[in-house]
Every structure is written in C-alpha cells, then in structure tokens.
C-alpha cells in the first residue's frame, strides 16, 4: 500500500508541535530546520512552523548526551533550543516551557511529534489527538531503550482522519501497551553521568531521530510513502521498516509485539525513554 500525503499540507504552513525535548526531542528539533529548508527548496510555499513544548530544565546529566552546555543548566530546554535555532536560522519558531497535560490546549497542529519518556505522557498525546474534536493530521511517535528504538507515523482517528482501512495506524493502536500507564516504571532521570550512559548508549537518539526525519522529508518531497516507521537496532546496525499495509497492522495487534528479523530488530515493548 502507498500512503499519499494529505494535499492540504502542501498549500499552507505546516504547523508542527514537538512534545518533549530530551534526547529524542532535542535531536528532532535540531533536524527540523533542515527539513524546513529542504521543503522550501523543493517548492513548498511556506515550509514548517514549529513549536517545542517541554517543562523540564537543563540538568548536569543532560549535558552528557543531549545538546546542552553547562552554561545552560537551570534554563528551560524548550526555550534554549528554540532561541538557538531562531538565532542561527533566522526563524520565528516558538517555545512553550510547560509539560503537556490533560488541561493543555493544542493550537491546531498539523503534525505532533511525540518524544516523551512515559506511557502516561504518550497516553495524553493519544487522548488529545483522537476524537471528533481533534484535527491533527499526523502523530509521529519516537521511543527508545538502551541500544535502539522505534518511530511510528500515524493518522489519529479524528475530524481530519476518518475511519478507513488505509488510515495509517498510530503507535497507540499498534502497540497499546505503550499507553498503558500502570506499566510505567519509576521514570526518574539518571542521577549521574555514568548511570545515564549505562541506561542508554551514545548516539541512539540522533540515529533514531534522523531516520524519522528522513521519513518526513521523503513524504513531503515525493508526496507518498510505502512505510510509516521503523525499528532501529543501533547496537546491531539494523533497521526494519514498518510497512504501511493493513495485513502488517493486524499481525502486530494480534501478536502484541513487532515482527522481528532473525537477526533481532528492536522491540517496541521496551519502555520508551528520551
């Protein structure tokens, strides 16, 4: 099956909301200006309008594998990243130094990029984007563990995306355990730089983020895609695409886990981290 980009996104500024700017979110944010420039060069009339949302501040541990410096400790991550990109690229993107909650009001984003580290946070995104009152076209979710991760581009069932066999299923539909809040562990950040590296190897986040950005780039350049995500195993240098076809979605829901190659692709059952 070939998924076609919603035509309306080629005729207006594409409003992107990035939720979370830890490891995955900061890597996605760093790549979005390149996607914006590529879209303009390819003929898109407006490119991206990006908002980054995160209530966390920079900690010393964040400076180990996230793009923050010692001088930025104590400042809001979202504000730091957006200020940096606006200054360098001459953009007018926005930061919201708050965490997404059930009470948050979303300003009609076309694409929501979820880079959250708990099932509870992912469940809130799912709740906000689903139902008759929601109108977001795409939800791109990223999640990872120590040596790899997965990204899934889906079309939440809402006012824009009606029920049909070809609608791209979201991460919450394919892997419902990833929004099952009781399965969350303590979710506490690493208390030291050494522990941070033990929990996650370097370069997992940018590798995952750039695969996800490449999917968006191809979708906007060619207007279609035959896959809508992938399972990335950084330790084994393997990537298994998630094919956009109803048979694959049914198999994933029945098995409750992603199909893996004999070499062993990354499992989406892993507790996602940033």
Q: What is the DSSP letter of 169?
A: P
pLDDT bucket at 268, cuts 50 / 70 / 90:
very low
Q: Comparing 165 with 267, which gets the higher pLDDT?
A: 165
Question: What pLDDT sits at residue 81?
Answer: 98
Residue 236 has pLDDT above 60, yes or no: yes
Q: Which residue do the tokens 């824009």 mark?
A: 160
Strand extents, DSSP E, the chain: 3-4, 14-19, 48-53, 94-96, 111-114, 138-144, 148-154, 224-225, 227-233, 238-243
Q: What count of other Cβ atoms lies within 10 Å of the Cβ of residue 128?
A: 24
Phi, psi of 60 (to 5 degrees): -55, -35
Task: Report helix, strand or coil for 231.
Answer: strand
Distances from the Cα of 244 to the Cα of 22, 114, 165, 195, 250, angstroms: 28, 20, 11, 37, 11
Q: Comparing 142 with 252, which gets the higher pLDDT?
A: 142
| Rounded mean pLDDT, 164-186 | 88
Question: What pLDDT sits at residue 52?
Answer: 98
Residue ranges and CATH numbers for the domains of the chain are: 3-255 (3.40.50.720)
Burial class (CB in 10 A: 0-12, 13-18, 19+), 135: middle
pLDDT bucket at 30, cuts 50 / 70 / 90:
very high
Q: Write down how long the chain is.
A: 274
**Helices 204-222, 23-41: crossing angle, 10 deg rounding:** 30
Q: Comparing 250 with 188, which gets the higher pLDDT?
A: 250
Question: What pLDDT sits at residue 206?
Answer: 93
Q: Comparing 177 with 33, which gets the higher pLDDT?
A: 33
- Name the CA radius of gyration of the chain, rounded: 18
d(Cα 12, Cα 173) in Å, to the nearest integer? 29
* H/E run at residue 199: helix 193-199
| 94-96 vs 48-53, strand pairing mode | parallel
| Rounded mean pLDDT, 27-46 | 97
- Segment among 53-57, 87-91, 204-208 with least mean pLDDT: 204-208
The per-residue pLDDT for range 98-145, each reduced to its tens digit, is: 999 999 999 999 999 999 989 999 999 999 999 988 999 999 999 988
- Mean pLDDT of the residues in the chain: 88
């Amino acid at each position: 099956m070939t998924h076609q980009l919603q035509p309306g996104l080629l005729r207006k500024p594409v409003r992107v909301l990035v939720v979370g700017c830890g490891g995955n979110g900061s890597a996605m944010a760093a790549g979005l200006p390149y996607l914006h420039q590529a879209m303009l060069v390819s003929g898109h009339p407006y490119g991206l309008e990006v908002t980054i949302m995160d209530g966390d501040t920079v900690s010393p541990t964040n400076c180990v594998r996230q793009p923050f410096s010692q001088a930025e400790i104590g400042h809001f991550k979202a504000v730091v990243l957006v200020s940096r990109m606006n200054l360098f690229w001459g953009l007018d993107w926005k930061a919201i130094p708050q965490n997404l909650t059930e009470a948050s009001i979303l300003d009609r984003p076309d694409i929501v990029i979820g880079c959250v580290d708990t099932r509870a946070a992912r469940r809130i995104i799912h709740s906000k984007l689903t139902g008759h009152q929601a109108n977001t076209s795409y939800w791109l979710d990223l999640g990872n563990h120590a040596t790899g991760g997965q990204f899934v581009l889906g079309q939440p069932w809402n006012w824009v995306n009606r029920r049909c066999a070809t609608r791209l299923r979201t991460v919450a539909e394919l892997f419902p355990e990833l929004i099952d809040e009781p399965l969350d562990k303590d979710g506490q950040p690493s208390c030291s730089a050494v522990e941070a590296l033990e929990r996650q190897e370097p370069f997992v986040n940018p590798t995952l983020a750039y695969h996800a950005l490449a999917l968006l780039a191809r979708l906007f350049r060619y207007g279609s895609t035959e896959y809508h995500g992938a399972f990335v195993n950084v330790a084994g240098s393997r990537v298994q695409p998630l094919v956009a076809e109803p048979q694959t979605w049914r198999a994933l829901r029945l098995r409750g886990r992603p199909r893996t190659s004999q070499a062993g692709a990354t499992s989406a059952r892993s507790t996602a981290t940033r």
